[in-house]
Amino acid sequence: MKLSTKGRYAVMAMVDLASTSNGNPVALADIAERQEISLSYLEQLFAKLRRGGLVRSVRGPGGGYLLAHASDQTRISDIILAVDEPIRATRCAPGSPVGCRVNKARCLTHDLWEELGNQIHLYLSSVTLANVVSRRVLGTAGVIDGPEAETAEAIPMVAAQ
Partner DNA sequence: TAAATTCCGACCGCTTTTCTCGGGTATGAC
Partner DNA sequence: GTCATACCCGAGAAAAGCGGTCGGAATTTA
- Contacting residues toward DNA, per CB under 7 A: 2, 4-6, 9, 25-29, 37-41, 43-44, 46-47, 50, 57-65, 84, 159, 161
33-62 residues in contact with a second copy (CB under 8 A) are 34-36
Nearer to DNA, 93 or 149 (CB): 93
Q: Are 3 and 87 in contact (CB under 8 A)?
A: no
57-96 residues in contact with a second copy (CB under 8 A) are 76, 90
Is 159 one of the binding residues for a second copy (CB under 8 A)?
yes
The CA distances from residue 7 to 25, 61, 109, 160, in Å, are: 22, 28, 26, 17
Q: Rounded CA gap, 114 and 25, in Å?
A: 39
The site partner of 10 among a second copy, DNA, none (C-beta below 5 to 8 Å per kind) is none
Position among 27, 66, 68, 133 found at the interface with a second copy (CB under 8 A): 133
Cβ neighbours for 112, distance < 8 A, ≥ 6 positions apart:
none
Is 160 one of the binding residues for a second copy (CB under 8 A)?
yes
Q: Rounded CA gap, 125 and 52, in Å?
A: 15
Q: How far is the CB of 110 from DNA (least distance, A)?
A: 16
The CA distances from residue 159 to 27, 54, 84, 91, in Å, are: 32, 24, 10, 10
The site partner of 19 among a second copy, DNA, none (C-beta below 5 to 8 Å per kind) is a second copy
Q: Which amino acid is at 126?
A: S
Position among 58, 92, 100, 116 found at the interface with a second copy (CB under 8 A): 116
